[in-house]
Amino acid sequence: MSLFPPVEACLSQAELIIDLGALRDNWRQLAARLAPAACAAVVKADAYGVGSDEASQALFNTGCRTFFVAHPSEGARVRGVVGADASIYVLNGLINGVGRLAPYATYALKPVLGSLDDVRVWSSSGLAGKVAAALHVDTGMNRLGLHVDEALALAPQAQALGLDLVMSHFVSSEAPGDTHNAEQIARFDAVRAAFAGLRASMANSSGLFLPQKPFYDLARPGYALYGGNPTPGAPNPMRPVVTLRAPVIQTREIGIGESVGYNAQWRAKRPTRLATIGVGYADGLPRSLMGTESHSGGDALVEGRRCPFVGRVSMDLTVIDVTDVPASVRPGAMVELLGEAITVDDVAARAGTIGYEILTNLGRRYARSYRS
């Protein structure tokens, strides 16, 4: 028996709050939008960083019965949470062939066959027809999936392979005017016609907002479920799910011309009050959010006001200019780095990346709490 308390009892420098009520509301909104087609949930990458166990359970309790993951290990974890009454598809195909097929039978996972090699392995595995599978058809992404002509040639084997779903993936669904969308839909329509009787799926989060309404039988939202904006350039229709807050560790005053952080990349142009928080790039805060002489970086919500990062983001620390907020900001005061005011898309834009990367890089050092 350990003489020490559990690690979870230790105080963390920062807290990550996941609103499962918002997650459920987001799924309900998308499900209503595409009805009578079904709404699945993509819960790969630890449910986009928010926690696979908690997210999968909340979504299952709300009515979701189809889940998508990237790897069999993720699927096995989801199966342990949602039980037998859900379909779980594994997107990345049959890695390394026959030697890795056991989890599909053990956990009733449905592989997404994305190449002719996958098809050959599956058809000779003894599982085809016992465990259902999906067929991924590449209509333009050139990443995973069979070519359209390869898929059409396989249509007569659909039953022997145990297929219950044919699917594809959009290249640019977040851009409604992109010509790729119409081209991909036309290609997929031809494939769907050849696989009559199977469910079809193409729409991701942004695909649910395309004017063509390519909902088919099943949609696969991911990012939008977790509060990301599926309609860039327009107001976000989704509720924020993640809030990240951190306490101020230390404050200090510096004079004109003094620098902050490694390599003196930022210098004060006025008498400045600084606040340092215990969050850095090791916690998933991109280093590109640094504030320098020539670059406006990230910011934090302090006493209701957005205050800029100054100097380079360090491994464990970030410095904020709090000159324009009340002098009451002292060690222990909480600042908000992600939430309703500073969204995951805001942070991504300032970091020169995408919100998906921000969410999936959320660190494990945060004290996580879940609200329903």
| From 44, 107, 110, 366, the catalytic residue | 44
> CA 114, CA 218: separation in Å to the nearest integer?
18
Residue 262 annotated in active site: yes
Which value, in Å, is the radius of gyration of the alpha carbons in the chain?
24
Beta bridge partners of 307: 300
Which are the contacts of 119, defined by CB distance < 8 A and separation ≥ 6?
113, 135, 146, 154, 157, 161
Residue 269 annotated in active site: no
| From 216, 262, 356, 366, the catalytic residue | 262
Map the chain to HEC letters.
CCCCCCHHHCCCCCEEEEEHHHHHHHHHHHHHHHCCCEECEECHHHHHCCCHHHHHHHHHHHCCCEEEECCHHHHHHHHHHHCCCCEEEECCCCCCHHHHCHHHHHCCCEEEECCHHHHHHHHCCCCECCECEEEEECCCCCCCCECHHHHHHHHHHHHHHCEEEEECCCCCCCCCCCHHHHHHHHHHHHHHHHCCCCEEECCCCHHHHCCCCCCCCEECCCHHHHCCCCCCCCCCCCCCCEEEEEEEEEEEEECCCCEECHHHCEECCCCEEEEEECCCHHHCCCHHHCECCCCCCCEEEECCEEEEECECCCCCCEEEECCCCCCCCCCCCEEEEECCCCCHHHHHHHHCCCHHHHHHCCCCCCEEEEEC
Centre a 10 Å sphere on the Cβ of residue 255 and count the other Cβ atoms it contains.
9
Distance of CA 368 to the CA centre of its chain: 17
Instruction: Provide the annotated active-site residues.
Output: 44, 262
